[in-house]
Copies of this chain bind each other. A is one copy, B any other.
């Protein structure tokens, strides 16, 4: 392909503005940036103030005019939300345009439909900005780790909750107070549910799992627990036991899969507040930073760390995707052939295991009467259900009662639930006050 690569932008908010700003200032960046040309930009309101100075003639309120413009080779969707984003992405694919999007919600829910349309049209849909902000994680998963059998992808992939958890840990502050502060500072939305309830992280781990294991997963079936119920006392106890608390998203294979079998690969996905040992690489990831750990054979364990959100980092990821499309078009004589690594089509079926079969370590805190033998009785209930315990510690014993914190070895959710039921039936146990994961 000769000449410039035409870029059409759908949306000119903070990310769209960041992308436009890079395209307008190619100096000091890779020279291929200078071969990208911003052709048209769809905005909702022509008269709103812009984060970046743009020639008025580029603007339109009609997204289809951007998509259908013959000079537009790549359509960048940075509107967000499910609709009209999904329809516009499909419209661009149907028009034979490659698409770059930062939209994790659309990709997590409609990724398979979009990928199938892209494969049929032989175009790319690239999503580096959808997970981990500026951190290169999508492209490395696709282009640098293909020789591995991936066993596990886990990480801190929501900056808002990590900011809140970091401040709770460092200041001993309560969740509500830190959330309010985060909202005032712009780190949390006025309606923080998508972040603090773990929904955003669940979108992202579903996307990472699809790329790491080669098949799409059912986003709606990912067990998801957020941080809105997390109490400062558990952050404090975890700290005393040598752990930090992080909102962790995990995707792991649950079985060796026989070669040549057509059975789906069983995967376990989950999002939950999780104790992370202080010497673990993820434990030092603080503030709005994100980090993703990939474990595979033969590579071992690699981690990708950086700013998980923000206009600049996200724009960096969007431009990386545009550059990849521009670069590969230079190697090709024309449309009709795609690089299978960059296209990253599904290559096998995957399925989520029943949540009872998810295996992990657990942290639980019980409120109990300060009666002799309570530790023995709690420990006995775990033992009878074959739940092996790593530590059991009593905190805050007083006339009003005590708190018992248990960290288990790896067990299935089913075993754990049975043991918890039995323990809560003990007369000296007044309740289950907290239940978190543990690495």
Contacts and interface: CB of A to CB of B under 8 A. Distances in A.
Given A32-B146, A316-B147, A339-B327, A306 B299 contact: yes
A320 B146 contact: yes
Contact of A139 (B128, B144, B332, B340): B144
Interface string A115-148: 0000000000000100000111001100111111
Contact of A146 (B300, B304, B319): B319
Contacts of A372: none
Contacts of A135: 302
B302 A214 contact: no
Contacts of A147: 22, 29-30, 33, 315-316, 318-320, 322-323
A135 B33 CA distance: 26
A330 interface: yes
A337 interface: yes
A54 interface: no
| Residue from the set A27, A259, A305, A339 with the largest chain B CB neighbour count within 10 Å | A339
B330 A340 contact: yes
A339 B347 contact: no
Contacts of A338: 330-331
B320 A298 contact: no
B331 A337 contact: yes
Contacts of A342: 327, 331
Interface residues of A, number: 68
B327 A333 contact: no
A263 to B, nearest CB: 13
A30 B141 CA distance: 11
A306 B303 contact: yes
A312 interface: yes
A44 interface: no
Counting every copy of the chain, the complex holds: 2
- Label chain A's interface by main secondary structure: mixed
A427 interface: no
A30 B305 CA distance: 24
A281 interface: yes
Nearest to A144: B136
Contacts of A259: 27-28
A273 interface: no
A82 interface: no
Interface in A286-309: 296-307
A196 B315 CA distance: 40
Contacts of A110: none
Minimum-distance CB pairs A-B, first 4? A298-B312, A147-B319, A302-B306, A30-B146
8 contacts: A18-B298, A28-B149, A32-B341, A135-B302, A299-B313, A302-B306, A303-B303, A330-B338
Given A22-B147, A302-B304, 7 more contacts: A33-B147, A146-B320, A147-B320, A301-B307, A302-B306, A303-B304, A327-B342
